[in-house]
Amino acid sequence: MFKIKEQKRVIKVYYPPYQHVAKNEQINYKKVAGDPRYPKLYEVGDDYIVLDYIEGKTFFQCLQEGIPILPEHVKQVDDALLFARNRGLNPSDIHLHNLIITKRGDVCIIDIARFSQSKPCEQWNDLKSGYYRYYHKAYFPSKLPKWLMDVVAALYRTRKGTSNHT
């Protein structure tokens, strides 16, 4: 993904052999069009899409930098995923790098290519469970080092048998 100079847009290029993913993601973005919790789709091609550039911090960056992730952010993700489901999509590959808290404090979900797969994905439910179970505890650190989050993600992938990020 590359930011387009002097515009608040990005171009996401799909290199061979992943050009077919471009078509899936185009269709998915068209299905969620109009919902501010997803980037706006501006242009499509056989191997690229052009989207809004979303300024903000990913959930991963928030954990790393000590920026609070609030219960309202979690609810916004839930609402956005419900919106996608109501449009016939199956949200998948929801991880800390795909969830952005904008400068206004709203959540935006990016990278929705896998929202059209049929296989169930429990990744968001697992993240949410961890959030409610641990995040607000007194012993939970205000900042998490990248290496620790990477280890947790690797252990999760091993346990779940998936190649997704956490």
Q: What is the pLDDT of residues 142-162, one digit of tens each?
A: 999 999 999 999 999 898 776
The pLDDT tens digits of the residues spanning 24-44 come to 999 999 999 999 999 999 999
By percentage, how much of the chain surpasses pLDDT 90?
A: 85
Per-residue model confidence (pLDDT) at position 163: 59
pLDDT > 60? residue 165: no
Helix (H) or strand (E) holding 42: strand 41-44
Q: Does 30 map to a domain?
A: yes
Q: Is the distance from CB of 39 to CB of 56 less than 8 angstroms?
A: no
93 catalytic? Reply is yes
State the catalytic residue, choosing from 93, 111, 126, 150. 93
Q: Does 150 map to a domain?
A: yes
Q: Does 165 map to a domain?
A: no
User: Tell me, what CATH number does 126's domain have?
Assistant: 1.10.510.10
The boundaries of the domain holding residue 55 are: 6-160
Domain tally for the chain? 1
> Read out DSSP for 90-132?
------TTSEEEETTS-EEE---GGGG--S---HHHHHHHHII
Q: Is the distance from CB of 130 to CB of 122 less than 8 angstroms?
A: no
The pLDDT tens digits of the residues spanning 75-110 come to 999 999 999 999 999 999 999 999 999 999 999 999
Per-residue model confidence (pLDDT) at position 166: 47
pLDDT > 90? residue 17: no
Q: Distances in Å between the alpha carbon of 148 and those of 145, 155, 165? A: 5, 11, 13
Query: Range with the lowest mean pLDDT among 20-24, 69-73, 87-91?
Result: 20-24
Q: Does 166 map to a domain?
A: no
Write the burial class of residue 92 (CB in 10 Å: 0-12 exposed, 13-18 middle, 19+ buried). buried
